[in-house]
């Protein structure tokens, strides 16, 4: 299946079938696991957030001036006091945030699934700091959103399963007025699925455009039947009439050979000149139904006819918005860990309650702690998203294992599906955990001292490599079937992550693994 690159980095790897010409951009604009995008504009600046589930810090914040090139400012939920992910499953945690701006304040509302429910945080600068959560126990369900009307009235809305649903996944959209950040007044049920017996009418957002209130939703589930629906009303509390041309966007009928699938969960934004655009999640299938990249953020144009939006087809290459191109400096492919803190590209699995990592002398040190990737604790793992179908990752490791300790590279989908290339007391090992069962695929003896580790992916084939002298790479076993890192096999809502890992596998340890550098390259 064909692969395209990140418009934010400008990597020149688009195939001849999808050439990039002047005034165009490539989708997705945020590759890798960046689902459920929400966007707002403040003057000429655009800010975008996505879901993060059980990964910490939670909710990355991106900034753009042209809707195509994005830089990460940081994360909204970057303190343990803001985000308790203890014991949360990989596909629970932070769902579907919404970002809005009103009277000089940024608001973000989201759901902690498997935790405390819906909450709001605020900031005057999207780069932070953001407040501790203001919880909304008066609400239930997922995918909350905020709407600030022209008269200053604030509303909260969200989706939930019906208490007496006729079938599993039958949902409704509710709306309540806010008094400050507290829901007040009567609750209004304003929407349910458009199509007969459709599941998960979710991701609702409200907009006031002219004299109409527009309600944008998704339905059909977040896989191939995903779709975007819209309705409108003269009154914020309804009744809402559906667009007779719904769904306004879906790729459900495109077939399995189409390069982009699962389009849905969208948000609208306008430019100062009056253009309209939609950000949404979608996937780029390869090697099966769903890719290891997870659900990514795409961009597509919107025009208006007869008071309804007409959404352009989501394509690999598109005409760019009529905005001055604004590229950001490209991030280095290799992290030498010579800063005072980790780059925002790095993530931890669940909330770190202790500093198990440190930056010292241009190296990343990871403590070998008892926690493993197979549990629901916070393991010693520093990982980043896989963002390309074909990629190579390399790292330099200094580690002397004792007992059951190990350290090296990990490719992670969830607790039951991951790949390890680790140095253990028995040698360098390639291990796979599939459906909760771990097996050893290959082992090699290596001398004491530094070992270079590498993983190279070509589609769904992942090949592990190592070198005891720089440049003298050797394969460790044959290619691993990377489909175990896809949601088709592993289930869940996340894409694959790759990073550095250390564990004492259930035993106390005072040992640490040192990583001199880590490099990630899209091929």
Query: The domain that contains 238 carries what CATH number?
Result: 2.115.10.20
Q: Check whether 24 has a pLDDT greater than 90.
A: yes
Band of residue 4 on the pLDDT scale cut at 50, 70, 90: very low
Query: The domain that contains 383 carries what CATH number?
Result: 2.60.120.200
* Domain match, 241 and 338 both: no
How do residues 183-205 score in pLDDT, each as one tens digit? 998 999 999 999 899 999 999 99
How many CA within 13 A on the CB side of residue 39?
31
Say how many C-beta atoms besides its own lie within 10 A of residue 324's C-beta: 8
Band of residue 149 on the pLDDT scale cut at 50, 70, 90: very high
Residue finishing a domain among 226, 248, 270: 248
* Domain match, 240 and 366 both: no
Q: Does the annotation count 275 as an active-site position?
A: no
* Domain match, 453 and 342 both: yes
* Domain match, 239 and 353 both: no
The reply to whether 463 falls in a domain is: yes
pLDDT, residue 216, reads: 98
* Domain match, 88 and 227 both: yes
The reply to whether 498 falls in a domain is: yes
Of 66, 84, 143, 202, the catalytic one is 202
Say how many C-beta atoms besides its own lie within 10 A of residue 177's C-beta: 18
Residue finishing a domain among 248, 276, 293: 248
* Domains of the chain: total: 2
Over residues 319-333, the mean pLDDT reads: 95
pLDDT, residue 22, reads: 82
User: What gap in Å lies between CA 415 and CA 89, rounded to an integer?
Assistant: 8
pLDDT, residue 1, reads: 26
pLDDT, residue 288, reads: 62
pLDDT, residue 237, reads: 98
In order of 107, 207, 269, the CA distances from 132 in angstroms are: 12, 27, 27
The reply to whether 66 falls in a domain is: yes
* Domain match, 353 and 495 both: yes
Tell me the pLDDT of the chain averaged across its residues. 94
The reply to whether 132 falls in a domain is: yes
Residue finishing a domain among 208, 228, 248: 248
Residue 489, both tokens: 């096999």
Q: Check whether 311 has a pLDDT greater than 70.
A: yes
* Domain match, 243 and 338 both: no
Range of the domain at 190: 41-248
The reply to whether 84 falls in a domain is: yes
pLDDT, residue 5, reads: 33
Band of residue 256 on the pLDDT scale cut at 50, 70, 90: confident
* Domain match, 237 and 386 both: no
Q: Kindly provide the b/e burial profile for residues 185-221, where b requires at least 16 CB atoms within 10 angstroms of the residue's own CB.
A: eeebebbbbbeeebbbbbbbbbbeeeeebbbbbbbbb
pLDDT, residue 18, reads: 59
* Domain match, 233 and 344 both: no
The reply to whether 259 falls in a domain is: no
Over residues 123-150, the mean pLDDT reads: 97
Of 36, 78, 371, 405, the catalytic one is 36
Q: Taking the model in full, what pTM does it have? A: 0.95
Q: Does the annotation count 36 as an active-site position?
A: yes
Q: Helix, strand, or coil here: 510?
A: coil
Q: Check whether 383 has a pLDDT greater than 60.
A: yes
pLDDT, residue 255, reads: 87
Of 285-294, 386-395, 463-472, give the lowest mean pLDDT range: 285-294
Contact between 129 and 123 under an 8 Å Cβ cutoff? The reply is yes
* Domain match, 491 and 376 both: yes
Q: Check whether 2 has a pLDDT greater than 90.
A: no
The reply to whether 403 falls in a domain is: yes
The reply to whether 213 falls in a domain is: yes
Q: What percent of the chain has pLDDT over 90?
A: 92
* Domain match, 223 and 353 both: no
CB-based contacts of 251-256 (< 8 A; 24+ apart in sequence): 251/224, 251/226, 251/282, 251/314, 252/220, 252/224, 252/225, 252/226, 252/227, 256/285, 256/289
* Domain match, 237 and 96 both: yes
């Amino acid at each position: 299946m064909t692969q395209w690159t990140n418009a934010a980095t400008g990597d020149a790897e688009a195939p001849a079938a999808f050439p990039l010409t002047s005034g165009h951009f490539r989708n997705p604009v945020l590759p890798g696991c960046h689902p459920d995008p929400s966007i707002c504009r403040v003057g000429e600046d655009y800010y975008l957030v996505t879901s993060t589930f059980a990964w910490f810090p939670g909710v990355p914040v991106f900034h753009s001036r042209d809707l195509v090139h994005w830089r990460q400012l940081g994360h909204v939920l970057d303190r343990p006091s803001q985000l308790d992910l203890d014991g949360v499953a990989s596909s629970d945690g932070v769902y579907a945030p919404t970002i809005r701006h009103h009277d000089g304040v940024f608001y973000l509302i989201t759901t902690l699934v498997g935790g405390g429910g819906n909450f709001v945080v605020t900031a005057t600068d999207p780069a932070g700091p953001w407040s501790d959560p203001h919880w909304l126990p008066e609400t239930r369900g997922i995918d909350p959103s905020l709407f600030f009307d022209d008269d200053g009235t604030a509303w909260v809305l969200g989706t939930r399963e019906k208490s007496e649903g006729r079938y599993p996944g039958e949902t409704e959209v509710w709306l309540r007025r806010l008094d400050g950040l507290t829901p007040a007044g009567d609750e209004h049920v304003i929407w349910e699925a458009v199509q007969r017996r459709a599941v998960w009418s979710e991701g609702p957002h409200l907009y006031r455009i002219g004299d109409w209130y527009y309600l944008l939703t998704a339905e059909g589930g977040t896989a191939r039947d995903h779709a975007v629906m819209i309705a409108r009303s003269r009154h914020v509390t309804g009744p809402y009439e559906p667009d007779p041309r719904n769904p306004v966007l879906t790729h459900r009928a495109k077939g399995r050979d189409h390069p982009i699938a699962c389009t849905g969960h969208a948000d609208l934004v306008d430019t100062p000149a009056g253009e309209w655009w939609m950000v949404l999640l979608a996937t780029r299938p390869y090697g099966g139904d769903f890719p290891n990249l997870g659900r990514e953020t795409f961009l597509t144009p919107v025009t208006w006819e007869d008071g309804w939006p007409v959404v352009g087809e989501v394509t690999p290459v598109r005409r760019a918005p009529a905005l001055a191109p604004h590229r950001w400096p490209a991030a280095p492919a290799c992290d030498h860990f010579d800063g005072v803190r980790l780059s925002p590209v790095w993530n931890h699995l669940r909330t770190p309650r202790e500093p198990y990592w440190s930056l010292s002398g241009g190296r990343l040190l990871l403590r070998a702690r008892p926690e493993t990737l197979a549990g629901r604790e916070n393991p010693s793992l520093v990982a980043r998203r896989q963002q390309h179908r074909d990629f190579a990752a390399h790292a330099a490791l200094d580690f002397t294992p004792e007992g059951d300790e190990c350290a090296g590279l990990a490719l992670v989908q969830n607790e039951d599906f991951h790949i390890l290339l680790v140095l253990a007391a028995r040698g360098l090992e390639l291990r796979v955990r599939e459906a909760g069962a771990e097996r050893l695929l290959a082992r090699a003896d290596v001398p004491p001292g530094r070992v270079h580790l590498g993983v190279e992916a070509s589609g769904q084939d992942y090949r592990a490599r190592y070198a005891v002298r720089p440049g003298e790479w050797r394969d460790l076993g044959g290619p691993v079937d990377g489909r175990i890192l896809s949601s088709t096999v592993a289930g869940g809502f996340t894409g694959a992550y790759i990073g550095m890992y250390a564990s004492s596998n259930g035993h106390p340890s005072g040992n640490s693994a040192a990583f001199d550098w880590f490099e990630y390259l899209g091929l």
